[in-house]
Chain A
Amino acid sequence: MGQSVTVPITISVNGKQHSAEVEPRLLLAQFLRETLSMTGTHIGCDTTSCGACTVIIDGSSAKSCTVLAVQANGAEVTTVEGLADGDTLHPIQEGFWEKHGLQCGFCTPGMMMSAVALLNDNPEPSEEEIRHGLAGNVCRCTGYHNIVLAVQYAADKMKS
């Protein structure tokens, strides 16, 4: 069995630097939820399938259940907690609210992070591009129709 020697890491999360001594096997999702107590990032399937744990690492969306915290050392991470500006919702959050993009809400943080990454790359996605861009996120209750509407709402809002 390998030795469990901790490693010092510093990760910027939503613009704030966080330093910690972590075991190399600690997953980024656990670092966020357990070390930093930021539980907005959900762990669903824990097998790189459902996308509930999606965060943005240095501008690219990633499933944080399949990233070691040590791999993200020095990176800039954005989580769902970083979307709103105080009491002002991010356009994607507003879109999910206005278009009823959620029921139980479990998949929502990951959906929104994937949507934000998609809109950063492609500010005016077609419906097909939205569906393709969200292919790594699974919703088991609302269904995808209203989620697509929520992303379209956000795209329109961000354009104006």
Chain B
Amino acid sequence: MIPAPFQYHKPTSVAEAAELLKKHGSDAKILAGGHSLIPLMKLRLAQPEVIIDIGAIESMSYIQEREEGIAIGGTTHYVDIANSSTVPKALSEAAAQVADVQVRNRGTIGGSLAHSDPAADLPAALVALKGQIITSSTNEHRTLESNEFFQDLFTTALREDEIISEILVPAESEETGSAYVKFGNKASHYAVVGVAASVTLTNGKCIEASIGVTGAGPAAYQASESISELVGSDLGDGAIEKASAKAGEGVDFNDDVHASGEYRAHLVTVFAERAIRLAASRAS
């Protein structure tokens, strides 16, 4: 299968990429690792006239510890995030479970987030970690909160003229534990349902909790109802069971060849429980 013809640009900086994106507007697509975009182009589900390849911009691939948190460059590959002991566990665990080795070597965090596949792993981790997505265009940088970023099926808050240049996640204190677990499709390894959890325990009491869910609905979401069950509790069995039971509340479940909506609704509760328990075991 061969993509439709396109014009190819290989900028050497984010600024140059942003200029090209502004110039070509909706005719253009950003290519980083290409592991979401190229398959779509081969199937001609996407036929961009212009490709702006940011995959070779070296300054966009990094993991840095900063005062404000851990900064990850937009084109950082899954493999580097999976192998990182700097990023929170939920994120490295999610990256390690994306597809397979070859895909993890090429696919990028920015690409995954921008694509917002309903079954992608990283969005759940970003939501659970309350990560921020930093975008660049020719005239500004914006900081977008992850729980507002994933809006709908393949739809994000990213504007047409913006590139995801960086992802920022808070550093984890010793009192905080996080985890990502999923029920993967056996063939594609996409998440039928995936849940990331982050909990903070102080003196045996949960003072903060966050749960990101992917695969279940049209886009990754924060399981707010579950969180209120956890915060203030001792993260005992009772609280975790109550919280898990609510992880799918109000969700319009995906219903497709991989799993029925009813099955996904069940899986969300099972995997929420596993994620919370694993995160709790890593806290304090």
Contacts and interface: CB of A to CB of B under 8 A. Distances in A.
Q: Do A and B bind each other?
A: yes
B108 to A, nearest CB: 12
Interface of B: 1-8, 10, 27, 31, 34-35, 38-39, 41-42, 47-51, 53, 55-56, 79, 99-103, 105-106, 187-189
A1 B5 contact: yes
A47 to B, nearest CB: 6
A6 B183 CA distance: 43
B280 to A, nearest CB: 26
B106 A136 contact: no
Contacts of B41: 25
Interface residues of A, number: 35
Interface string A13-55: 0000000000111110010000000000000001111010010
Interface of A: 1-5, 7, 23-27, 30, 46-49, 51, 54, 60-63, 66-68, 70-71, 73, 114, 117-118, 133, 135-137
Contacts of A51: 100, 102
A68 B103 CA distance: 14
Contact of B102 (A27, A30, A62): A62
A69 to B, nearest CB: 10
Contact of B103 (A3, A73, A136): A136
A63 B56 CA distance: 18
A117 B48 CA distance: 33
28 contacts: A1-B49, A2-B4, A2-B5, A2-B6, A2-B27, A2-B48, A5-B7, A24-B8, A25-B2, A25-B3, A25-B4, A25-B5, A46-B1, A46-B42, A48-B39, A48-B102, A60-B79, A61-B101, A62-B105, A62-B106, A66-B39, A67-B34, A67-B38, A68-B8, A68-B31, A68-B53, A73-B10, A136-B100
A70 B56 CA distance: 11
Contacts of B34: 66-68, 71
A23 B39 contact: no
Nearest to A6: B8
Of A5, A63, A118, chain B has the most CB atoms within 10 Å of the CB of A63
Given A49-B188, A60-B79, A60-B106, 15 more contacts: A3-B7, A4-B5, A5-B8, A7-B8, A23-B5, A25-B2, A47-B42, A48-B39, A48-B103, A51-B102, A62-B102, A63-B106, A68-B34, A71-B31, A137-B100
Contacts of A71: 31, 34, 53, 55-56
Contacts of B31: 68, 71
A23 B8 CA distance: 9
Contacts of B2: 25-27, 30
A26 B50 CA distance: 15
